Amino acid sequence: MINYTDKIPNNVDLGRDRVLQRALEHWQPAYMGWWYDMGPNESHNYEVYLRTAISVEPDGWAQFGYVKMPDYRWGIFLQPRDEKREVNFGIHKGQPAWQEVPGEYRSTLRRVIVTQGDTEPASVEQQRMLGSSCPSMYDLRNIFQVNVEEGRHLWAMVYLLHRYFGRDGREEAESLLARRSGDADNPRILGAFNEPTPDWLAFYMFTFFTDRDGKFQLCALAESGFDPLARTCRFMLTEEAHHMFVGETGVGRIIQRTCEVMKEHKVEDPSDVRALGVIDLDTIQRYLNFHYSVTLDLYGSDVSSNAANYYTSGLKGRFRETKLEDDHVLADAEYPVSEVVGGKIITKNVPALTALNERLRDDYIEEIADGVGRWQRVIDNAGIPFRLTLPHKGFHRAIGNFAGHLISPEGEVLSEEDWKNHEFQWLPSSKDYAYVRSLMSGRVVEPGKFANWIAPPARGINNHPLNFEYVRFN
Ligand SMILES: [Fe+2]
Ligand SMILES: [Fe+2]
């Protein structure tokens, strides 16, 4: 029997909700079983300096202290309710926001919540072996922070399933613990969440690119007319910011270290750079190309009647919906999408309602481009003549209008032969992965020490110095 107020911090009055308590009584032990099996490997006895959300108040969502991860207090938090909130788009625009699931949207909403929920444990599974090759105690603490918060995001979605979807919701919540990233028989729902995260460069790229997809999906769901979903996603966004910070600064610190070594030794050729034990910029570019392209696929088909239905029904909005100035119905609006016709990429206008996936993808790309620009400044400041670029949107895509076409990073449509000749100039090869992995053969955990291939961060966590003991191994 769980002591609810102690063990599960929440602002949903869990102590008085018997139905929810009973559902969680079954699910919580199964969740712990999943964490022991699929959470960070060999970490269960470590005491980790973690941030825990214990309330939604400004001083309550970021409480720091040492915690053994299996004892982490995975809580259930929703942004406080705004009694006057309305459905802000689609055919129900202007109605009071829904506090219960509208019957006609029940299965669609459940699907949306399950798809979001499935990504959360998936990324924990993808990252579970990385602790044994961490570049520092600071980074080890950060990956554990990301992992426990993805666990909490799973709790957040399971809360919605348990509270609002009855028996089907409980079954879906169990399935969320049964699927496994990369499993041949029972994989995670979305492609990028079945890719391995084999090393720390991949981890930082993942948290920069793929957690940011999470942010944009959460932003779109935070506009939902189904108020509990909107409020849940709003609160999740506070945590997502840290995940993207870990990714952006992680890649930035790798770039910085590489540039320092290149300057110091006056080398530019990738093999000379590698000989000095850091990751050459070309390899970083190839990882970028890979993570960017597989993440773009997560937004779905460029033209999608499902996306149109989600919007029209008021279930999933656009990025910053309420800040946009238009009719919020998109009756006559158009939006440009690209496709390949006769060996050329052309752009045409389609009804904006059907292009909402593409629009969200474009909003995402804009933010990604800013982040890549910040990485570029690290290279520029070192005076190294190398340009990091975002490949063309159609590069290496498996979903949408570009799927089935071979497109170069510059946006040319290629023959299979041309593609094959260049593929591993553009995407990481098994040799690249082997090289990166060779740098990460063991973990660096002496407080204040960092692996040779990465620069220290500008500052520590919660104002602590870099040599703070962020993890205590017992
Ligand atoms: Fe998440
Ligand atoms: Fe995340």
* 474 residues of the chain, pLDDT tens digit each: 567 667 889 999 998 999 999 999 999 999 999 999 999 999 999 999 999 988 888 888 889 999 999 999 999 999 999 999 999 999 999 999 999 999 999 999 999 999 999 999 999 999 999 999 999 999 999 999 999 999 999 999 999 999 999 999 999 999 999 999 999 999 999 998 999 999 999 999 999 999 999 999 999 999 999 999 999 999 999 999 999 999 999 999 999 999 999 999 999 999 999 999 999 999 999 999 999 999 999 999 999 999 999 999 999 999 999 999 999 999 899 999 999 999 999 999 999 999 999 999 999 999 999 999 999 999 999 999 999 999 999 999 999 999 999 999 999 999 999 999 999 999 999 999 999 999 999 999 999 999 999 999 999 999 999 999 999 998
Please give the full DSSP string across 153-187, using - where no structure is assigned.
Answer: HHHHHHHHHHHHSHHHHHHHHHHHHH--TT-SSS-
Cα of 145 vs centre of ligand 1, distance in Å, is: 11
Cα of 209 vs centre of ligand 1, distance in Å, is: 13
411 three-class SS:
coil
Q: 49-68: b or e for each residue (b if 16 or more CB lie within 10 Å)? A: bbbbbbebeeeebeeeeebe
Ligand found nearest the CA of 247? 2
**Res 60: pLDDT:** 83
**Res 57: pLDDT:** 87
Ligand found nearest the CA of 246? 2
Cα of 225 vs centre of ligand 2, distance in Å, is: 23
**To the nearest whole number, what is the mean pLDDT of the chain?**
96
Cα of 153 vs centre of ligand 1, distance in Å, is: 5
Between 18-38 and 137-164, two packed helices, what is the crossing angle to 10 degrees?
150
Cα of 350 vs centre of ligand 1, distance in Å, is: 32
Cα of 129 vs centre of ligand 1, distance in Å, is: 19
Which residue shows structure tokens 């460069």? 201
Cα–Cα dist 266/254, whole Å: 18
Cα–Cα dist 453/194, whole Å: 27
Tell me the backbone φ, ψ of residue 134, rounded to 5 degrees: -65, 150
**Res 2: pLDDT:** 61
**Res 5: pLDDT:** 65
**Res 414: pLDDT:** 98
Cα of 146 vs centre of ligand 2, distance in Å, is: 6
Could you tell me what percent of the chain has a pLDDT over 70? 99
Which residue shows structure tokens 């509270």? 163
Between 106-127 and 211-221, two packed helices, what is the crossing angle to 10 degrees?
160
Cα of 443 vs centre of ligand 1, distance in Å, is: 26
52 three-class SS:
strand
Q: Give 152's contacts (C-beta < 8 A, 6+ positions apart).
A: 53, 74, 75, 239
Ligand found nearest the CA of 218? 1
Q: C-alpha distances in angstroms, 80 versus 11, 12, 74, 230?
A: 8, 10, 18, 11
Cα of 124 vs centre of ligand 1, distance in Å, is: 10
Cα–Cα dist 311/299, whole Å: 14
Ligand found nearest the CA of 145? 2
Residue 407 structure tokens: 């497109």
Cα of 21 vs centre of ligand 2, distance in Å, is: 26
The answer, as to whether pTM is greater than 0.95, is: yes
